[in-house]
Amino acid sequence: MKVLPSTRTLKVKATPKALSLSPGGSTTIDLEVYEPSGRPAKNAEVAVIVVDEAVLALSGYETPDPLAVFYADRSADVRALGNRENVILGSPRRAREEGGREGGRGLGLGGLGARGASAKRS
């Protein structure tokens, strides 16, 4: 199923008080967050990362598209697992004869749980 990010993408408007700063300078940033419908997003949380563009330019860094990361195509991650080959069926009649309600004895199989595994009775 393809999820269209356009219906789930918030619009963020960041307006810094100062358009440029000298080293060590500080400013404030006004943030506005809107739903895809254009209404203000209630209780929105925003992380702001500030970096010197000159440093990014020197390294050749390109800002990735966050929507491509969050909405990347992936498999359905459906897996079928089973362990029937490890199940050993006991005799219900023998279990009834031995009490049947006592746990940990593998239906009267002498402590044998999974194939090849055994446990000591105390």
4-49 pLDDT per residue, tens = 777 788 999 999 999 888 888 899 999 999 999 999 999 999 998 8
Q: Is the dihedral of CA 97, 103, 105, 109 positive or negative?
A: positive
- Segment 95-99 mean pLDDT: 73
Quote the pLDDT of residue 121: 47
- Segment 87-101 mean pLDDT: 74
Quote the pLDDT of residue 83: 84
The answer to whether 36 and 11 are in contact (CB under 8 A) is yes
Over the chain, what is the mean pLDDT?
A: 78
The answer to whether 31 and 14 are in contact (CB under 8 A) is yes
Quote the pLDDT of residue 76: 76
Most confident of 31-40, 83-92, 113-122: 31-40
Quote the pLDDT of residue 113: 45
Quote the pLDDT of residue 37: 92
How many angstroms separate the CA atoms of 9 and 67, rounded? 8
Element housing 14 (H / E): strand 11-16
